[in-house]
A and B are shown apart, each in its own frame.
Chain A
């Protein structure tokens, strides 16, 4: 018996929360087979599941290993569904470049932010860790990104965030990008001080922030 699309979305969401790659794959194929819209299946099934997983992480029910495994189940489903998205749906995505600032090796938080952003439908380009300000700027220009997201876990390296903002000014491209910052020692006050456009304290909030920044002019 075929499932209604809402039943299927709910099960797909559960598969992500349950870290179950096989079920996520099977349900994703089932959605295609049943002729359900791939984009909607991602949004209401997979991405919904990842959003729930992110909430469980915030509530300390899930920890980093669990969240990463949920993301794997999500990705298995995405690989199956993505080729079926129509081009017109695809063009809606906003591009983000994300990375950890120069000198800093702490990348667990950045990686979580990245995967929540991807799950929420952003096109995320990961520059990795220990990324100099100039590389943030060059890549953002080259990739025609809308948002630059910078992570720093160390007070010693967080000044590189300000340098990045200044470099954008120097190159005359500041208004082309929104800049968001985050990580342990960073605060909204700091973000404001260095002239960034936003700050978020965790991966879920980062998605909210990215949505806001993507909408704003």
Chain B
């Protein structure tokens, strides 16, 4: 009998497990849906601020959805806030967002000292939550989620200017992203040291559709790998999630160093696995189906996904907060039945 932590760890490192794990890593892809919060009373936005509230909600999510992990935090703004942007923390049903990016140009970015993310109160709360939950529930993997390097950079510099400057100001762009990456690596180390079983990186602004294959390779692949390599040094596996249609960037996906590649619902994971010479895959139950379908449909679709040789079952991307709880449990149940 495998514990959820052993099952996930084995799966991510190529060792045997009894069945694929079913998880929701947190951050962009988190399952703090309204249905869970209304049931337990531990609610957002409060759970964005303190370790206590964050731990309670992360536990509730795990307990009520059936996902075999703790996914922390519940937003993509911890990093950007630490690096200077102002945040609107949203509401029970609407996720936090960047109110204003701190800088108008990559040329204006002021570099904060290394280790700045973990020094903020929310950075600390995430680390403390990982620590508490991994101590209290040693069999359940606590996943520390990072906002990827391009998304974080485009959350501290105005995204429209930033995207242009990837071409126009290459040297300075690289410098800024490298700075962001060093901050993320330092933060990831704290998460690892405090009990994170896995680090997950999602980088929605770095899709093939937004950047195109060349920019994706020059920036996304380079910096995602820099983080993945560093986290591997700390001895823990890495999930990399790439949003959107990946047809155009398959050769680039091949170069990613994550232990598993998570993709969106439009991607056929069976084909992707064939195309990428057996790279481990994660996914990819449609988040629209989870929101608008019914439990029966979700269950059937999950059974179909289970024939596709997917290593880790998970939502295809960021869940809507109004996703019905019974649809999520239909998904996790269908996997656990194997």
Contact = CB atoms under 8 A, between A and B. Distances in A.
Interface residues of A, number: 22
A156 B212 CA distance: 28
A60 interface: yes
A157 interface: yes
Interface string A91-107: 00000000000011101
A107 B163 CA distance: 13
Given A19-B167, A63-B211, A64-B210, 10 more contacts: A63-B210, A63-B212, A64-B211, A69-B164, A69-B167, A72-B164, A130-B97, A155-B320, A156-B94, A156-B322
Given A155-B288, A156-B93, A65 B88 contact: no
A108 interface: yes
B305 interface: no
Interface string B152-184: 000000011001101110000000000000000
Interface residues of B, number: 28
Interface of A: 19, 60, 62-66, 68-69, 72, 103-105, 107-108, 111, 130, 154-157, 185
**Interface secondary structure of A, over-half rule:** loop
22 contacts: A63-B209, A63-B211, A63-B215, A64-B210, A64-B211, A65-B163, A65-B166, A65-B212, A66-B167, A68-B164, A72-B164, A103-B94, A104-B97, A107-B160, A108-B163, A108-B210, A130-B97, A156-B93, A156-B94, A156-B95, A157-B94, A185-B288
Interface string B207-237: 0011110010000000000000000000000
Interface string B71-106: 000000000000000001010011101110000000
Nearest to A62: B212
Main secondary structure on B side of the interface with A: helix
B97 to A, nearest CB: 4
Given A156-B93, A157-B94, A107 B159 contact: yes
